Amino acid sequence: MKMMMATRTQAVATAAAALVLLTLAGRGPSQTIETRMPAADEPHEGTWLQWPHHYTYGLDYRNQVEAQWVEMTRALVTGENVHIIAYDAAERERIVALLGAAGVPLERVDFLIRRTDDYWVRDNGPIFVFDIDGNPKLTDWGFDGWGDDASWGNDNTVPAAVAGTLGMPLVDLNAMVLEGGAIEVDGRGVLMATRSSILEPKRNAGLTQTQAEAYMRQHLGIRKFIWLDGADGGTEDITDTHIDGFAVFGPGRTIVTMSREDLAYWQISAADIDRLYAATDIDGVAYEFVHLPLTTRDVVTTYGQSVGYRSSYANYYVGNSVVLMPSYSDPSDAVAKAVLEGLYPDRTVVPIDCRNLCVNGGMVHCVTQQQPSVPVREPAPMGLSMLRADAAGVVMTFQGEAGASYRLEACPNLLSGGWAEVESFVLAGTTRTLTVPMGSEARRFFRVVRR
């Protein structure tokens, strides 16, 4: 349980191009972008849910929110798979019966049996990324119950269990604690976060911002950071100001957040509000801002308990066919729904009652985790292979169609592009040796395209 107040890059390899990645030895840490974390609205293979249970906090804790998991599953299966983590086999059978009784089709639902402490899979679950070749892998960051403020021993084992059941490569990053709700990425290399929820000493004692950035550059493909200070949330917000409670990346070049007045109510400092509204993307272009309201009144649970504050709609979740929107039986529900329908016109906005979930510290984004779809790539018929590379340069061989005209291009960073011609040639036979002296810019990516 937690308490809380609060054009994308496509594969370069095509039927007309082949790519070689070069990393030279002896030049210090690699600056190659090895991975890319997709944006939330890119296509999903499915969504992961940790189903509520009674083993940690009792039956009331489970029963007060379980209906929302049924409704999330009902909405999500219209466009993707739903992977449910059940505490044990008995729980799986109970959940199957529950979904069946509610008329939820089960063809797209499967189960992983794994003991969990709680249901906040956004924070303790896997973070999926793509490697440089577009292959999926799973990153397993450390999770310690938001700085040892809640039970976490079972939850921290979930990413490895997911990797095992999927047969997917696992990158063990437990040396750094990183909760999924602490970061927002735009899919183009920009990450937005608060220092208070990543550099907090109970999570990452002694870790510097530079070191944290190095981890995220290498393993999430981040090239630009939008840092807000955030704030220590004490016992009221053990996430210590997770970014996904008040500011998220929307489609295109947008940030979805609140008005300045509402951000101040959410206890975001004036300096952080200024930093947020001054944010620019990877190209230095200012983001466009879309505002969601707060609830008009303090949230009250279905069983009559006042949460004690007005709540946020920014913690929504984008599926393939739906947008799961927090709802509170509040007049602002309709306003938020209209805003999200305008942002995501190709998806159905489905309100999920978060009144009982909110009192425990979160909304729908906090309890969902996307697994992205693997891009379909056509194999390139041509071949570009590296023979050797050293401080003097790179020697490659290229195989293609005799008599055809080609162009060798290079760029320093695959994700940012900036391809420049190195040389043009007509292939006399079917194979040609290409030699490229290395300049001070240490170009690392090469491709051949047909002219």
Q: Which domains does the chain have, with CATH numbers?
A: 34-372 (3.75.10.10), 383-450 (2.60.40)
pLDDT at 412 over 80: no
Of 20 and 50, the structure prediction assigns the larger pLDDT to 50
**Is residue 120 over pLDDT 70?**
yes
How far are the Cα atoms of 5, 23, 148 from residue 263, in angstroms, in the given order? 12, 44, 27
Q: In angstroms, rounded to a whole number, what is the distance separating the alpha carbons of residues 90 and 216?
A: 38
Residue 173 has pLDDT above 90, yes or no: yes
pLDDT band at 48 (very low <50, low <70, confident <90, very high): very high
Which residue in 130, 113, 111, 100 sits closest to 36, CA to CA? Answer: 130
Note the pLDDT of residue 133.
79
Mean pLDDT of 262-288: 97
> Which position has the higher pLDDT, 428 or 331?
331
15 confidence band (pLDDT: 50, 70, 90): very low
pLDDT band at 350 (very low <50, low <70, confident <90, very high): very high
Instruction: Provide mean pLDDT across the span 76-105.
Output: 98
Tell me, what's the pLDDT at 433? Answer: 86
Residue 311 CA to its chain's centroid (Å): 23
Alpha-carbon dihedral 7, 10, 12, 14, rounded to 10 degrees: -120
In SS3 terms, the chain reads as CCCCCCCCCCCCCECCEEEEECCCCCCCCCCCCCEECCCCCCCEEEEEEECCCCCCCCHHHHHCCHHHHHHHHHHHCCCCEEEEEECCHHHHHHHHHHHHHCCCCCCCEEEEECCCCCCCHHHHCCEEEEECCCCEEEEEEECCHHHHCCCCCCHHHHHHHHHHHHCCCEEEEEEEECCHHHEEECCCCEEEEEHHHHCCHHHHCCCCHHHHHHHHHHHHCCCEEEEECCCCCCCCCCCCCCHHHCCEECCCCEEEECCHHHHHHCCCCHHHHHHHHCCECCCCCECEEEECCECCCCCECCCCCECCCCCECCCCEECCCEEEEEECCCCHHHHHHHHHHHHCCCCEEEEEECHHHHCCCCCCHHHCEEEECCCCCCCCCCEEEEEEEECCEEEEEEECCCCCEEEEEEECECCCECCEEEEEEECCCCEEEEEEECCCCCCCEEEEEEC
Which residue is associated with the tokens 């016109």? Answer: 345
pLDDT of residue 313: 98
In this predicted structure, what is the pLDDT of residue 271? 98
- pLDDT above 90: residue 418: no
Average pLDDT, integer, range 399-414:
80
CB 350 within 8 A of CB 74: no
User: What is the separation of C-alpha 197 from the centre of its chain, rounded to a whole number of angstroms?
Assistant: 16
Mean pLDDT of 215-222: 96
Q: How confident is the model at residue 376 (pLDDT cuts 50, 70, 90)?
A: low
State how far the Cα of 64 lies from the Cα of 96, in Å rounded to an integer: 18
Handedness of CA 172, 174, 176, 179 (dihedral sign): positive
Question: Tokens 């974390």 appear where?
Answer: 37
> In which residue are the tokens 């510097």 written?
208
The model's confidence at residue 22, banded by pLDDT at 50, 70 and 90, is very low
Instruction: Tell me: pLDDT of 442 over 50.
Output: no
**Confidence band (pLDDT; 50, 70, 90) for 436?**
confident
* pLDDT score for 166: 96
Q: What is the mean pLDDT of residues 144-158?
A: 97
Q: Could you tell me which residue, 362 or 377, shows the higher pLDDT?
A: 362
Task: Say what the pLDDT of residue 258 is.
Answer: 98
The mean-pLDDT minimum among 100-114, 320-334, 391-405, 413-427 falls in 413-427
CB-CB contact of 263 with 257 (8 Å)? yes
pLDDT tens digits, 306-317: 999 999 999 999
* pLDDT attached to residue 386: 64
Average pLDDT over residues 64-90: 98
Structure tokens at 290: 């879309």
pLDDT band of residue 432 (cuts 50, 70, 90) is: confident
**Rounded CA separation 160/172 (Å):** 8
Across the chain, what does the average pLDDT equal? 88
Residue in the block written with tokens 């790539």: 377
pTM of the predicted structure, to 2 decimals: 0.80
On the question of pLDDT at 371 being above 90, the answer is yes
98 and 70 Cβ atoms separated by less than 8 Å: yes
The distance in angstroms from the start CA to the end CA of the chain is: 59
The one-letter amino acid code at 390 reads D
Both tokens of 361, joined, read 């510290």
Which residue is it, tokens 């999330």? 72
Could you give the dihedral angle defined by the CA atoms of residues 200, 201, 203 and 209, in that order, rounded to the nearest 10 degrees?
60
Q: Is the pLDDT of residue 8 over 80?
A: no
Please give the pLDDT value at position 23: 35
pLDDT at residue 336 greater than cutoff 70? yes
In this prediction, residue 89 carries a pLDDT of 98
Which pLDDT belongs to residue 449? Answer: 85
Query: Which segment of 126-130, 231-235, 366-370, 379-383 scores lowest on mean pLDDT?
Result: 379-383
Residue 34: left (phi > 0), alpha (psi -120 to 50), or beta?
alpha
Calculate mean pLDDT across residues 12-26. 34
For residue range 183-211, list pLDDT tens digits in order: 999 999 999 999 999 999 999 999 999 99
